[in-house]
Structure 1
Amino acid sequence: MRASRLLSIQMLLETHGRMSAPALARALEVSVRTLHRDIDELTTAGVPVYAERGRAGGFQLMPGWKTTLTGLTPAESEVVFLAGLAGPAADLGLATKVESAQLKLLAALPAPMRGDAQRISSRLHLDPVEWYREPDPVPHLPLAATAVWEGRQLAITYESWTQTGRRTVHPLGLVLKAGIWYLVAARERKVRTWRISSIQEAVLQDKPVLRPKGFDLAAYWRDAVRRFEAGVYTGEALVAATPRGLVELRRINAALALAVARATPPARAGGRSHVRMPIESVPHAAGQLLRLFPEVEALEPPELRQELRRRSTAAARAYRA
């Protein structure tokens, strides 16, 4: 544990340059007193760490000094090779760079660890796209990635649900969600999400991105997903489901799987469980439930039962004719 922490201090200083003692202690989740002892141990071992006093002071390494990979564990080297899983890196135009980085990593690793590091890419394959669906065409993804990496503004022609318009955005990050690429970018000081496949044209600008202070991509995405899911489901329905119906409901999406997990068990053997399921709208819920009948029957609200009755009657009339 101590050896791993000492290596982490070297990597943090090499990556971030000068860091204050409190900042290093927070990153390592130790006390400042423990950090000072670790710094003393590093300097005793010959690592050229020096301190600068003052308001902007802190610890840093001597210019030009680099760590080696001798502290990389077999498990850590396997995780690094996850970056080579096919698909996302190629979409971003980084496939060649990932391969080059892996070759350099292999060359730096001790011979006994090379086989273990390569094994993960031959035994684990990532396919993020849903069944029976082709991935979105994303010809402008590499340019969007360049804008993110280089911190440059991007002029895009974007096709939304209501209109197509041209605008200049400040790219902040990229997200791959369920096989779909999204650009997180600011416009008029508001951070928004843009679907990459909806970008019709893109032109890289020379102006730098104005990044919101303290922006955290992962935190933004978690909040955005939570807001989206809360806004999608506007109502609730009560249904009665057989064991087979519960299985079918669970397969529709994660929200219904959670509802099934909270289902009220049947009052008698062979009876049906009651499930309170979130719904987007009455027509949407009717479309979901119609194909599950007779394993799932809607009990409430009355307008949902009425819509199911109307659709089933129309279907019976059409097939009878």
Structure 2
Amino acid sequence: MRASRLLSIQMLLETRGRMSATALAGALEVSVRTLHRDIDELSAAGVPVFAERGRHGGFALLPGWKTTLTGLTPSEAEAVFLSGLAGPAADLGLGAHVKSAQLKVMASLPPQMQGSAGRISSRFHLDPIDWYREADALPHLAAVSQAVWEERQLSMAYESWAKTASRVVHPLGLVLKAGVWYLVAAREGEPRTYRVSNMLQAEVLEAAVARPRNFDLPAYWRAAVRRFETELFTGEAEVAATEGGLAQLRRLGAAQARAVAAAKPSRRKDGRTVLRVPIESTEHAAGQMLRLAPEVEVLGPAKLRAAIVGRLEAARKLYGPARAPGVRKRP
């Protein structure tokens, strides 16, 4: 464990350059005191680590020095092959590069580790596209990914739910969520999210990207998802659900699944559980909840219940009285 941590210190200093004791300890998840002991042990072993004092000081390696310790543990080698997602990599035009990198990693492993690492690609496959949905057409993903990798601005015609507009953005990163590609890009200094399939045109510009200081793509995306859910679900519905209905509610989405998990046991005499779940607009929720009937009954609000009754009445007019279409009554 300690030997692995000592190697990690070398790798961190090689790849990131000078780092403070606090930053190094945080990256290794150890105390600063433990880190200082590790640094002393590295120095005693001949690794040229030196400390620089002052406000911008920290630990660094002697310029030009590189470790020759590049071996991978069996778990690390498997993780390399697990991260090579063929579908997304091909979407980005990196499929051949991923295969080439995997071959190089495989060739560098000792024989006893090659079988273990190779099994990952033959026994694990990721299909990011949701059921009953076709993958988006992505004619401009190549241009978008080029702008991201090369840190160049992107001119695009973008179709939102409200209008189609032309704009120039500063690409910051790409996100693949549930089979859908999103571009995170800064506009007027603020990061925003754009669905790649909504781009009607895309052109990579020569101008460099102005990247916001300390921008963290995973942190931004987590906050954006939470904000989207907060804005999307504007109300709540009180429902009574059977065990099967609870399972159907969980499948509606993450917000509803959390509501089911947090529901306190409150059963009626008929065995149904009463709970509150987040909903979007009344019309959207009416269609959504109607599909779950009779396993899920809406108790309120009254406006939502009335909207469901209205849909049922409209359906009754379309389909009743029950007789075959085109059959005339006898005179």
Relative distance call for 1:31 and 1:161 in structure 2 (3 A) is: same
Relative distance call for 1:24 and 1:283 in structure 2 (3 A) is: same
Deviation, 1:20, is 3.6
**Correspondence for 1:114:** 114
Are 2:288 and 1:288 aligned?
yes
Relative distance call for 1:73 and 1:266 in structure 2 (3 A) is: same
Q: What is the CA–CA distance in structure 2 between the aligned matches of 1:28 and 1:101, rounded to whole Å?
A: 27
SS at match of 1:129: coil
**Correspondence for 1:228:** 228
Amino acid at match of 1:126: L
Are 2:266 and 1:265 aligned?
yes
Amino acid at match of 1:39: I
Q: For each residue in 1:196-245, what CA deviation from the matched residue of structure 2 results, as whole angstroms up to 9, or x when unmatched? A: 11111111112111111111111111111001001111111112222222
Q: What is the CA–CA distance in structure 1 between the aligned matches of 2:76 and 2:66, rounded to whole Å?
A: 23
1:197-212 equivalences under 5 Å are 197-212=197-212
Deviation, 1:263, is 5.4
Are 2:309 and 1:304 aligned?
no
Q: What is the CA–CA distance in structure 1 between the aligned matches of 2:11 and 2:138, rounded to whole Å?
A: 35
Unmatched tracts of structure 2, length 5 or more: 322-331
Deviation, 1:171, is 0.7
Counterpart contact for 1:92–1:142, Cα < 8 Å: yes
Are 2:237 and 1:237 aligned?
yes
**Correspondence for 1:11:** 11
Q: For each residue in 1:156-201, what CA deviation from the matched residue of structure 2 results, as whole angstroms up to 9, or x when unmatched? A: 1111111111111111111111111111000111110011111111
Relative distance call for 1:274 and 1:93 in structure 2 (3 A) is: same
Using the size of structure 2 for normalisation, the TM-score is 0.90
Counterpart contact for 2:242–2:271, Cα < 8 Å: yes
**Correspondence for 1:171:** 171
The range that moved more, 91-100 or 11-20, is 11-20
Q: What is the CA–CA distance in structure 1 between the aligned matches of 2:26 and 2:239, rounded to whole Å?
A: 50
Amino acid at match of 1:272: R
Are 2:66 and 1:65 aligned?
yes
Counterpart contact for 1:19–1:60, Cα < 8 Å: no
Relative distance call for 1:198 and 1:42 in structure 2 (3 A) is: same
Counterpart contact for 2:268–2:274, Cα < 8 Å: no
Counterpart contact for 1:14–1:61, Cα < 8 Å: no
**Correspondence for 2:94:** 94
Are 2:317 and 1:317 aligned?
yes
Counterpart contact for 1:39–1:49, Cα < 8 Å: yes
SS at match of 2:251: helix
Q: What is the CA–CA distance in structure 2 between the aligned matches of 1:165 and 1:140, rounded to whole Å?
A: 16
Deviation, 1:131, is 0.2
Unmatched tracts of structure 1, length 5 or more: none
Using the size of structure 1 for normalisation, the TM-score is 0.92
SS at match of 2:184: strand
Identity of matched residues, %: 62
Deviation, 1:85, is 2.4
Q: What is the CA–CA distance in structure 2 between the aligned matches of 1:101 and 1:68, rounded to whole Å?
A: 19
Deviation, 1:99, is 1.1
Q: What is the CA–CA distance in structure 2 between the aligned matches of 1:293 and 1:56, rounded to whole Å?
A: 64
Counterpart contact for 1:184–1:193, Cα < 8 Å: yes
The range that moved more, 3-12 or 297-306, is 297-306
Deviation, 1:54, is 5.7
The range that moved more, 211-220 or 15-24, is 15-24
Are 2:215 and 1:215 aligned?
yes
**Correspondence for 2:160:** 160
Q: What is the CA–CA distance in structure 2 between the aligned matches of 1:20 and 1:253, rounded to whole Å?
A: 42
**Correspondence for 1:129:** 129
**Correspondence for 2:28:** 28
SS at match of 1:138: coil
Q: What is the CA–CA distance in structure 1 between the aligned matches of 2:241 and 2:40, rounded to whole Å?
A: 66
Counterpart contact for 2:229–2:255, Cα < 8 Å: no
